Amino acid sequence: MIRNSGRILFNSLKNSNVKLINRNVIINSNIRLFSTSTNNTIKESVEKKAETISNKDNIASPSSKSIDVSDLAGNADYNFVFERIKTCDKENYINSLLISDPIARRVAYAIRAFNIETVANDHSPKSEKISRLRLSFWKDAINNIYNGKVYDQPLTRVLAQVIKEKKLTKTWFIKILNRREKDNQQVQIKDMEELEQYADDIHSSLMLLTLEGLGVKGNHDVEHCASHLGKAIGIMVLIRGTVYHLASRKTYIPVSLTTKYGINVESLYRGDPQIEKLQNAIYEMASCAKLHLDKAKQFRGKIPHPATEAFLSVSVVEDFLERLRKADFNIFEFPNTQQHPLLLIKLYKNKFFKQF
């Protein structure tokens, strides 16, 4: 079997552990409408707009009134974002909590909350339409922030605040949104190159924004490391979510791999696991993630503090790949919700010694 001949690729990994997200795909919840205007006409207009979007459609609804950039986020807004991450993305909640600088930590939470809002709940035709509306809203919101206007909504206020404080690059936000829009289409990823590009567009962009929050920008080694680690994280997330995606009639296994190993995607959707064939495909995806992880680790010693705090996820990816290897790349038997207390200890140790 092809995966047996290549397992030596994983021998360099040491045992560590990771606290995984209990859900493979982050699920959005409703964001309530905030209106700060006392003008009844404006208020009625806002409420009328809100009524056109059903609560079950799960779209973040802005106020019709934009607020000036000088009137930005308050404690309630930051608490909203904090609780959002704590509830929906425990893994990055912990990683962001380990960032020393409080402003940089707020930036990390805002970025991760933004990512949550761009993720589709599922891939049904109805959800696809809702996702398009949601992504359109967030693209307008980001463009407006950079034009000096802010939708009267908690996350947009927080984003405007951190963008103003840290001068975050608009390109990375738009890159994430463009990839989410493309992903919203019912099209299977073509090959490994497109898989890597998917991971880079989303997860490397998130990492670069986090680094900008830490005050690190324009460092070639840091950006190169972030690109490789972002790809490794992105592929890890897609592998980890495979079972959930299949239940939603979606797969991120590239066409090149399903063709190579004779995987019938429609049969996967209907519950036929095709375990051995799928193991081979997952092995190749994991090997690609391992390759990028190793390239990122080559920058150890070259990354200045505090940029190292953005790269603590190296331990998470290492542990995931090692546990996947021990499960023989069988995602149906993979202990996806397993937790181990030593992971947190390792993360704290790396933070203390300013390493990753």
* pLDDT score at 337: 61
Q: How confident is the model at residue 338 (pLDDT cuts 50, 70, 90)?
A: low
164-179: average pLDDT: 97
Q: Measure the CA–CA gap between 138 and 290, rounded to whole angstroms.
A: 33
* pLDDT score at 67: 54
Q: Give the ranges where the chain is alpha helix by DSSP (H).
A: 2-5, 40-51, 75-88, 90-97, 102-118, 125-146, 154-166, 170-183, 192-199, 205-213, 220-240, 242-247, 255-260, 265-269, 275-297, 314-326, 341-352
Does a cis peptide bond (omega within 30 degrees of 0) precede residue 306?
yes
* pLDDT score at 27: 33
Count the residues in the chain. Answer: 356
Question: How many other CB atoms sit within 10 Å of the CB of residue 133?
Answer: 14
- Name the β-bridge partners of 150: 67
Q: Measure the CA–CA gap between 16 and 162, rounded to whole angstroms.
A: 34
| Ranges of each domain in the chain | 1-17+187-356, 24-185
Question: How many other CB atoms sit within 10 Å of the CB of residue 196?
Answer: 24
- The number of angstroms, rounded, from the C-alpha of 168 to the middle of its chain's C-alpha atoms is 18
Count the alpha carbons within 13 Å of 50 in the hemisphere toward its beta carbon.
21
pLDDT at 205 over 80: yes
92 and 17 Cβ atoms separated by less than 8 Å: no
pLDDT digits (tens, 9 = 90+) for 216-226: 999 999 999 99
107-130: average pLDDT: 85
pLDDT digits (tens, 9 = 90+) for 72-117: 889 999 999 999 999 999 899 999 999 999 999 999 999 999 999 9
* pLDDT score at 336: 67
* pLDDT score at 41: 41
pLDDT at 44 over 50: no
Element (H, E) at 66: strand 66-68
The tokens of 66 are what? 């934009």
Any idea what DSSP says for residue 150?
E
* pLDDT score at 123: 62
* pLDDT score at 64: 38
Mean pLDDT lowest for which of 47-61, 192-206, 207-221, 222-236?
47-61
At the top level of CATH, the class of 1-17+187-356 is mainly alpha
Local structure of 313: helix, strand or coil: coil
> If 0-12 CB within 10 Å is exposed, 13-18 middle and 19+ buried, where does residue 15 land?
exposed
Residue bearing the bigger pLDDT, 23 or 128: 128
